[in-house]
């Protein structure tokens, strides 16, 4: 399940349980809408409650970031999982944004919201 909130130029995406392709498409629509109308967006991914994701989600993420990676200022990922941390650094190869991984949600939100 996915939840998406918008606070100014910040898009907060939380995943609970399995991250499915339908969830990813909802994310794409929301973020593309946000960046298209309001300029560059900042993203905050909360993956603390994500249990798993499907292979097609990983492939879509690579394609999305390749096509839209220059449309973001900052991307913060909140996770305690080593594989998700590693995946974030791979994700970083496809974007020109500042990308950081956090274990603490409040620290991530503060960092990603700086200079707004």
CA dihedral sign, ordered 9, 72, 23, 102? negative
Return the CATH number of the domain spanning residue range 2-113.
Answer: 3.40.50.10600
Q: What is the pTM of this model?
A: 0.81
Domain spans of the chain, in order of start: 2-113
Cα 71 to the chain's mean position, in Å?
12
Separation CA 1–CA 102 (nearest Å):
21
Per-residue pLDDT for the chain (116 aa), expressed as one digit of tens each?
899 998 888 889 999 998 888 998 898 888 776 555 456 788 899 989 988 877 788 778 778 877 877 778 888 999 887 776 656 666 666 677 888 899 999 999 999 998 65
- The confidence score (pLDDT) of residue 86 equals 59
Bridge-based pairing state of the strands 10-19 and 72-78: unpaired
- The confidence score (pLDDT) of residue 44 equals 92
């Amino acid at each position: 399940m996915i939840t998406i909130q918008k606070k100014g130029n910040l898009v907060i995406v939380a995943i609970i349980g399995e991250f499915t392709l339908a969830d990813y498409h909802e994310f794409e629509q929301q973020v593309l809408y946000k960046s298209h109308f309001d300029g560059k967006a900042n993203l905050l991914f909360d993956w603390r409650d994500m249990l798993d994701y499907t292979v097609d989600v990983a492939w879509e993420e690579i394609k999305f970031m390749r096509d839209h990676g220059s449309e973001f200022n900052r991307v913060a990922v909140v996770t305690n999982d080593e594989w998700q941390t590693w995946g974030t650094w791979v994700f970083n190869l496809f974007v020109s944004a500042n990308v950081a991984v956090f274990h603490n949600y409040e620290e991530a939100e503060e960092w990603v919201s700086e200079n707004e």
